[in-house]
Amino acid sequence: MNKSNMLPLNNRRTLLNRMWEARYLYILFLPVAAYYIIFHYYPMSGIIIAFKRYNARLGFFGSPWNGLQNYRYVFMDPRFYKALSNTFVISFSRVVFQFPMPIILGIMLSEVRSSKIARPLQTIFTFPNFLSWVIVGGVVVNLLGTYGAVNNLLSAFGMNKIPFLSSSALFRPILYISAIWKNSGWVAIIYLATITSIPQEQYEAAEIDGASRIQRIWHITLPSLKSTIIIMFILNVGHIMNMGFDQVFNLQNPAVLEVSEIIGTYIYRITFTGPMDFGFSTAMGLFTSVVNFFFLIMTDRIAKIVGESGLF
């Protein structure tokens, strides 16, 4: 037999031998593989509903095809363009106002030298992340609602009540502030872990050279965080179309619908407040996924242009 023909067979045997040697690891991995196949990959077949007039009785594959009719319906609806505009404005504003906050919080926590103070602070800032938006939304309403604690306090001092949650000008800032309060502590852990991996010798050498605390943060901490910041930024931009549905849904009301209707709540209203149209909702889900993927790839390419490794 030709030696060149034996190489693939030998490589195959070597691979099978290695798999057999690690067979217990593969057995342990089987539940994970089954989970992703059953709950992530197999459901992808449902994407075909986006191009069908779905009928639950006929199922995914038995429902009749309708081509791009679901998308024609979407792109002819003026409410879609308003929701799309609000989604971009709110999501990019989140990136501008919310994204830097965990970085700042992580740096501030790293500068607390006493562990007796730092650990309770980390717990306090992280705890809100474990509350659902249903609970946080209730807290916000009880604080800022018409009969909430803040307006009751204003009334007690003889001042006029402020319509925080029904004001188009105030609703979006409330979204950003409440999201910062809820999520910043959890995300800050990632930056704090990166900061703790920075060699302390760098800080000691900078201190000996007379660098102030601000200078040490600017010239040592931030450059060391650069890669982590880029990765987190790419991941944030990659979810630009579905940021904050839970939050908006729980705080939204008819008075601010014009500035708060995003793609997620738009899909919900069309799908569940009228005759259920799963073909439409699937088409919209596919559309948002494609847009998210576009922004993810674009941001990743930009990261590589500026000298970072990116995700891919």
What is residue 283's predicted lDDT score, i.e. its pLDDT? 87
Other residues' Cβ atoms within 10 Å of the Cβ of residue 115:
9
Contact 233, 311 (CB under 8 A): no
Q: ∠ CA(115), CA(116), CA(117), 5° rounding?
A: 90
Please give the Cα distance from 77 to 87 (Å, whole number).
Answer: 16
CATH 1.10.3720.10 at 72-305, yes or no? yes
Q: How confident is the model at residue 277 (pLDDT cuts 50, 70, 90)?
A: confident
Confidence class of residue 12 from pLDDT cuts 50, 70 and 90? low
For 47-57, what is the mean pLDDT? Answer: 83
- Can you state the percent helix, strand and coil of the chain, rounding each to 5? 80, 0, 20
Between 35 and 71, whose confidence is greater?
Answer: 35
Q: Are 52 and 66 in contact (CB under 8 A)?
A: yes
Report pLDDT for 280.
82
Give the range among 50-54, 139-143, 258-262 with minimum mean pLDDT. Answer: 50-54
What mean pLDDT value characterizes the chain?
A: 87
Asked if residue 50 has pLDDT above 90, the reply is no
What does the buried/exposed string (b/e) look like for 297-306 if buried means 16 or more CB atoms within 10 Å of the residue's CB? eebbeebeee
pLDDT single digits (tens) 248-258: 999 998 889 99
User: So what's the pLDDT on residue 1?
Assistant: 45
Q: With a cut of 80, say whether residue 6 has pLDDT above it.
A: no
Between residues 276 and 246, which one has the greater pLDDT? 246
The count of C-alpha atoms lying within 13 angstroms of the C-alpha of 8, restricted to the half-sphere facing its C-beta, is: 4
The pLDDT > 90 percentage for the chain reads: 38
Q: Check residue 130 and give its pLDDT.
A: 92
Which residue do the tokens 């102030």 mark? Answer: 212
Give tens-digit pLDDT for 64-123: 888 888 888 888 888 889 999 999 999 999 999 999 999 999 999 998 888 888 889 989
Neighbours of 190 (CB within 10 A): 17
d(CA 271, CA 280): 8
**Residue 11's pLDDT is what?**
62
Tell whether the model's pLDDT for residue 311 goes beyond 70: no
pLDDT at 9: 55
Count CB-CB contacts under 10 A for residue 272: 11
Mean pLDDT of 274-291: 83
**Per-residue model confidence (pLDDT) at position 310:** 67
Q: What is the pLDDT of residues 199-229, one digit of tens each?
A: 989 988 998 888 888 999 998 999 999 889 9
Q: How far apart are CA 221 and CA 214, in angstroms?
A: 10
In whole angstroms, give the CA distance from residue 46 to residue 40: 11
What are the domain boundaries of the chain? Answer: 3-62, 72-305
Among the ranges given (6-15, 244-253, 274-283), the one the predictor scored with the smallest mean pLDDT: 6-15
Are residues 185 and 125 in contact, defined by beta-carbon separation less than 8 angstroms? yes
Which of the residue ranges 5-19, 36-50, 145-159, 239-253 would you say has the lowest mean pLDDT? 5-19
Q: Could you tell me what percent of the chain has a pLDDT over 70?
A: 95
